[in-house]
Amino acid sequence: MAELVLIYDSVTGGFISKQAGSTHIANNAIISALIASGAIGGAHLAAAAILSANIASGHIGSSHLGFAMAAGLLSGDHSTLVHTSGQIASGGVGSVHLNPALPVLTADVVDEFLGGNPTTFEIGELGWRFLNGGAISAPLPEDNHPGLYGHQTSTTQNTIAQLFLEGNTAARILASAPWDFTFIIRPMETTNLHFWVGPSANLGNGAPDATVARYGFEFLSGDGSWQTVCADGATQSRLATSSPFTSGWTKLRMLRTVSGVDFYLNDAFQNSILSSLPTSALGIGIMERNLGSLENRRYLIDFFRGTLNVQR
pLDDT, tens digit, 9 for 90 and up, residues 74-112: 333 333 333 333 333 444 444 445 667 678 888 899 999
User: What percentage of the chain carries pLDDT values higher than 70?
Assistant: 65
Mean pLDDT of 273-296: 91
Residue 201, pLDDT > 70, answer yes
Residue 195, pLDDT > 90, answer yes
Mean pLDDT of 286-292: 92
Highest-confidence segment of 40-49, 50-59, 175-184? 175-184
Say what the pLDDT of residue 119 is. Answer: 73
Mean pLDDT of 245-266: 97
Q: How many domains does the chain have?
A: 1
Asked if the structure places residue 7 within a domain, the reply is: no
Q: Provide CB contacts within 8 A for 232, sequence distance 6+.
A: 210, 213, 276, 277, 278, 279
Say what the pLDDT of residue 135 is. Answer: 78
Asked if the structure places residue 6 within a domain, the reply is: no
Asked if the structure places residue 51 within a domain, the reply is: no
Residue 311, pLDDT > 70, answer yes
pLDDT, tens digit, 9 for 90 and up, residues 157-180: 988 998 988 755 567 788 999 999
Asked if the structure places residue 63 within a domain, the reply is: no
User: What percentage of the chain carries pLDDT values higher than 90?
Assistant: 43
Give the C-alpha separation, 79 to 68, whole Å.
Answer: 12
Asked if the structure places residue 276 within a domain, the reply is: yes
- Kindly report the CATH number assigned to the domain that includes residue 120: 2.60.120.200
Give the C-alpha separation, 196 to 208, whole Å.
Answer: 9
CA distances from 292 to 51, 158, 212, 224 (A): 67, 7, 23, 17
Asked if the structure places residue 259 within a domain, the reply is: yes
Asked if the structure places residue 214 within a domain, the reply is: yes
Residue 262, pLDDT > 70, answer yes
Say what the pLDDT of residue 13 is. Answer: 59
Confidence of residue 5 (pLDDT cuts 50, 70, 90): low
Give the C-alpha separation, 220 to 291, whole Å.
Answer: 9
Q: Provide the domain limits for residue 290.
A: 108-311
Confidence of residue 312 (pLDDT cuts 50, 70, 90): confident
Mean pLDDT of the residues in the chain? 75
Asked if the structure places residue 117 within a domain, the reply is: yes
